[in-house]
Amino acid sequence: MNRHATSYMTLDLFQPFDNTTTQTTVNLGAETAVRNTPHHLSLLSLFSGAGGLDIGFHKAGFNTIWANEYDKSIASSYQHHFRDVAFDGRSIVDIPESDIPSAMGIIGGPPCQSWSEAGARRGVNDHRGQLFLEYIRVLKHTQPSFFVAENVSGILHERNKAAFKNIIDMFIDAGYDVSWKKLNASDYEVPQDRERVFVVGFRKDLSIKFEFPAPVAIKATMKDAIYDLKDLPFGSHCSIPNHEITDTGFSPMFMSRNRVRSWDEASYTILAMDRHTPLHPQAPKMVDSGEKDKKLFAPGHEHKYRRLSVRECARIQTFPDDYQFIYTHARNGYKMVGNAVPVNLAYHIAMQIKKHLGF
């Protein structure tokens, strides 16, 4: 919370802000009334994906009450894990505001393919980029105390500068004090170098200036995350679900640079395509071929090179083992895991939000 403030409006903290409502000010220590409200630490989850953000926020004490995910190949996994959450599988553009409940916060990552530095680069002109507008529509309607939006780092590229400014301006115009920052998951107990942009806003009447969590001192490594899986069998013979790999080959682009990190390092970014999944640390680093943009598997060690399994990727994304990814082909498992927000990173953001709210 903004410790320079001396009061806040309890009546407005968990309900949509109404300028016509009489504003009752209470002492900062009066948290009992807040904790007894039905919206205490409740969340709406938009573009939920596999629920990495949700799990992190749940670990911090929040509770998702309503979620939306249109991709049927992902929705079953989310619903299987979050069985008590009201789930809406329609496209967000087809959901009327009357069907969306109010809550204390909104979390979600609107589809980011159009912003990716490796993607089509159409940005807000792409229909997926315009889903930001749907996020803002829900935000304006429900007016929660805070929101969190996550996206790829490509959204900060110079070519997207004007569009990103427009997005921030729309959040501000919706009634929020907005902060944003590019974070590396490896700074927050995630054994992975993964840069993503987080936008956090608090409703203006709360007078809260958000400060992002400070990096933790100790870095997590690949060994911390997956060493105990190294000798387990793959597939149905494994006691831990989703420990399986695809047998697709490696593209020239994949072979253009080293794709192996050591046990004592953080993983490369876990991506949403099996053909771009990092290689297991049991193998030595790839070696120069003598040709530009072409690496080779170290001679004599070719048998050690394999991509990480779906479960190993999930571990690196800090998903718990009791989360079962449901799919008919492992490539869909890689997609779900790679598109998710790392659970531990979400947890640190959630705890910082709780701190700013005074909990």
Active site amino acids: 112
Burial letters for 107-146: b for 16+ Cβ neighbours within 10 Å, e otherwise? bbbbbbbbbeeeeeeebbebebbebbebbbbbbbebbbbb
165: helix, strand or coil: helix
CA distance linking residue 56 with residue 58, whole number of Å: 5
Nearest CA among 214, 245, 240 for reference residue 229: 240
CA distance linking residue 292 with residue 288, whole number of Å: 9
Which DSSP letter does residue 342 get? Answer: P
At 210, list the tokens: 């958000």
> What is the torsional sign of CA 9, 146, 213, 124?
negative
Instruction: Give, in order, the Cα–Cα distances in Å from 136 to each of 115, 141, 161, 204, 331.
Output: 18, 8, 19, 15, 32
Instruction: Give, in order, the Cα–Cα distances in Å from 242 to each of 71, 80, 123, 124.
Output: 20, 14, 33, 35
